[in-house]
């Protein structure tokens, strides 16, 4: 009986996914009325579909994400692969020591480091992400420096200004950078030239470079390279990263840390 029920659930979720793909955006109420089931059940279905990375949960519904979509608005990026990003960010925060100056880029994964910095003391965080700076401002023991520049509304990030404007003589201990794709041939790539310029600026100024990237981005190539692997010290990813590629990078001297999702 349970096997039959599971088949029905799977069929319903496949139909829901097909509807979201066609309409691009739906609400819980719309789906609940269409399938004549409770809002709670629909939310459960959407959460399961969201965990696969094909849709992103929004307040009251969901949107469909094309696999080749170049760049999502920052709030939606934070929802995509959220659990994986959280555990990657938690592992990254363990490398931050009291008294350090660190850099967090505009990636959604780096933004998840904020709550894990709450126990640190006398740290300074430089960032080009307005939302990340806002969340950091809630931590009284953290000093915040915004990089300055023009606001990119899609990403809540600041671009176009050099870090020398805000930190002419300072030393960045560690930089935590996201990436749109990781490829053995192309290195680390991203989608926007202005964002890439900011990443390069931080990469050249920091003593240690950490790349935070979930497993869905391994093997992907985007618009332009912003870092070669010999410029990176540590890559932190989830346990679904391809073992062969991890092995190659390890042999090249890159420390790759894989973290498991807690159930």
Q: What percent of the chain has pLDDT over 70?
A: 88
pLDDT at 116: 96
Q: CATH assignment of 79-259?
A: 3.40.50.1360
The structure tokens 């671009």 sit at 159
User: Angle formed by the axes of helices 39-51 and 28-35, to 10°?
Assistant: 110
Counting Cα atoms < 13 Å in the Cβ hemisphere of 51 gives 9
pLDDT digits (tens, 9 = 90+) for 20-55: 888 878 999 999 999 999 999 999 999 888 776 667
CA distances from 144 to 93, 123, 138, 159, 201 (A): 16, 9, 11, 17, 18
pLDDT digits (tens, 9 = 90+) for 190-242: 888 888 999 999 999 999 999 999 998 998 877 789 999 999 999 999 999 99
Domain boundaries, the chain: 2-65, 79-259
Confirm or reject CATH 1.10.10.10 for domain 2-65, answering yes or no: yes
């Amino acid at each position: 009986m349970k096997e039959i029920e599971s088949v029905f659930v799977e069929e319903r979720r496949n139909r829901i996914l097909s509807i979201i793909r066609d309409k691009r955006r739906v609400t819980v109420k719309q789906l609940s009325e269409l399938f004549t089931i409770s809002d709670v059940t629909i939310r459960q279905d959407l959460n399961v579909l969201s965990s696969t990375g094909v849709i992103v949960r929004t307040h009251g519904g969901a949107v469909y994400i094309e696999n080749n979509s170049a760049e999502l608005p920052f709030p939606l990026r934070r929802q995509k692969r959220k659990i994986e990003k959280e555990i990657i960010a938690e592992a990254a925060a363990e490398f931050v020591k009291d008294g350090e100056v660190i850099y967090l880029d505009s990636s959604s994964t780096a933004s998840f480091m904020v709550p894990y910095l709450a126990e640190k003391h006398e740290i300074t965080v430089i960032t080009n992400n307005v939302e990340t700076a806002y969340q950091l401002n809630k931590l009284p023991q953290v000093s915040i420096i915004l990089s300055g520049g023009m606001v990119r509304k899609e990403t809540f990030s600041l671009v176009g200004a050099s870090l020398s404007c805000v930190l002419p003589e300072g030393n960045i201990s560690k930089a935590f950078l996201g990436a749109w794709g990781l490829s053995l041939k192309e290195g680390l790539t991203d989608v926007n030239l202005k964002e890439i310029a900011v990443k390069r600026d931080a990469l050249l100024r920091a003593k240690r470079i950490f790349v935070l990237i979930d497993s869905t981005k391994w093997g992907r190539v985007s618009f332009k390279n912003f870092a070669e692997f010999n410029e990176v010290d540590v890559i932190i990813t989830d346990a679904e990263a391809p073992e062969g590629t991890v092995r190659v990078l390890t042999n090249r001297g890159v420390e790759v840390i894989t973290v498991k999702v807690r159930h």
